[in-house]
Amino acid sequence: MKNKTKLGKLKLTFYLLLFVVIHWSCTPINEKIDYPVGFKYYQVQDSSQRYIYNQDTIPRPMLIHFWYPSDDLTDLNKMIFKQYVDLISIREDCSKPKEVIDNESTNFINAYAGYAKSNFGIGLNSSTQEILNSPVNASLDISIASGEFPMIIYAPSNSKTPIQNHLICEQLASQGFFVISVGSAGENSIQRKEPGKSIEAQVKDMEFILEYIEKNIMLKYSTLGLLSFSTGGLASAIFQMKHPNVKAVCSLDGSQEHSFYIYLSKLKDFNINNTEVPYFLMVNKTISSIYPFFNSVKSRNKIASRMPYLDHFGFVSYWTYFDQCKPDTLQHNYSISYQKICENTSSFF
């Protein structure tokens, strides 16, 4: 009861603190909003790390996802959802034949859409092919808007790819943010077998993609923030502690507030004294944790909010996207809640 009361008070102060937090965080220096959204991806390797794929040892594959604001007002290269889903198939192997990619993408949507229909009653009138062919709010390889924008690194959940939250990434890009991300993996494979080493591997991946964007894309940004979901929150916590240039951290139901805090707190780079940056936490409806990380964060600009209609798996964009594929589909509580998550996240940054 004590924890629920404390979280309730935090919710009441959310909007009072939000104005203060925004001034400390990654507010875009450009006044313009609602940019056209561009998307690029880069298939690269981190040769400093070994990786096991199909029983072979290879350099660590890194499929970097990059959302960004653009000045291009044309509808050229407008993407469909399948182009995102195909990236899930090729994250470890970009040489797969087209028919294999098509089959894996179809199976992926069959599984997720089937789960949404049977468990949430979402997307009942949408077929797999309609979902794959539905347009998204991004265009492939269009020009990057001129000027410097804030950079957000998104850390996905356990072994998943950035596509799990493409709607948030697109919205941030439309409001003048660069967003980069790479799929979550363990120390030397897609499987996260040892929690501590997997956290450190994801931190290293985040460092790699930021350096790649800086040096190879020659992209300049104004400030740096972190966004994460689930186990991605563990990596974001360590990344922020290591890098004082991080100005704000937003966590979507992060595992640092659950039992994984034990693994996090034992890592060599863990230093709770290095947490004096704005921290925004959104949690699910059933969480009964004592919020060990949130309660320990040193920043006085920290806020928490409970999403009363969502369980842990509600903090991804799939269900909302399925809900929006047909214009006449009634919005589900999951969909409405996710839209609030998007609004809260962009307002915070």
Query: What is the per-residue pLDDT across 46-96, written as a single tens digit (0 to 9) for each?
Result: 999 999 999 899 999 999 999 999 999 878 899 999 999 999 999 999 999
Which residue in the block uniquely carries the two structure tokens 């949404």? 116
| Residue 273, pLDDT score | 97
Question: What share of the chain has pLDDT > 70, as a percent?
Answer: 89
Of 285, 306, 304, 284, whose CA–CA distance to 294 is shortest?
304
- Rounded CA-CA distance 254/228 in Å is 7
pLDDT in tens, 88-141: 999 999 999 999 999 999 999 999 999 999 998 898 889 999 999 999 999 999
| Residue 73, pLDDT score | 84
pLDDT in tens, 297-325: 999 999 999 999 999 999 999 999 999 88
pLDDT surpasses 50 at 331? yes
pLDDT surpasses 90 at 25? no
pLDDT bin (cut points 50, 70, 90) of residue 286 is confident
| Residue 327, pLDDT score | 63
pTM above 0.85, yes or no: yes
Indicate if the alpha-carbon torsion angle 291, 292, 295, 297 is positive or negative. negative
pLDDT bin (cut points 50, 70, 90) of residue 15 is very low
| Residue 330, pLDDT score | 64
Beta bridge partners of 252: 229, 282
DSSP states along 140-171: ETPPPPSS-EEEEEEE-STT--GGGGHHHHHH
Greater pLDDT, 120 or 38:
38
pLDDT surpasses 70 at 243? yes
- Rounded CA-CA distance 173/46 in Å is 26
| Residue 245, pLDDT score | 97
The whole-chain average pLDDT of the chain stands at: 90
| Residue 13, pLDDT score | 44
pLDDT bin (cut points 50, 70, 90) of residue 20 is very low
| Residue 329, pLDDT score | 58
pLDDT surpasses 80 at 291? no
pLDDT in tens, 152-181: 999 999 999 999 999 999 999 999 999 999
pLDDT bin (cut points 50, 70, 90) of residue 332 is confident
pLDDT surpasses 70 at 328? no
- Rounded CA-CA distance 89/7 in Å is 40
CATH code of the domain made up of 2-348: 3.40.50.1820
- Rounded CA-CA distance 309/294 in Å is 21
User: Mean of the pLDDT values across residues 207-220?
Assistant: 95
| Residue 324, pLDDT score | 87
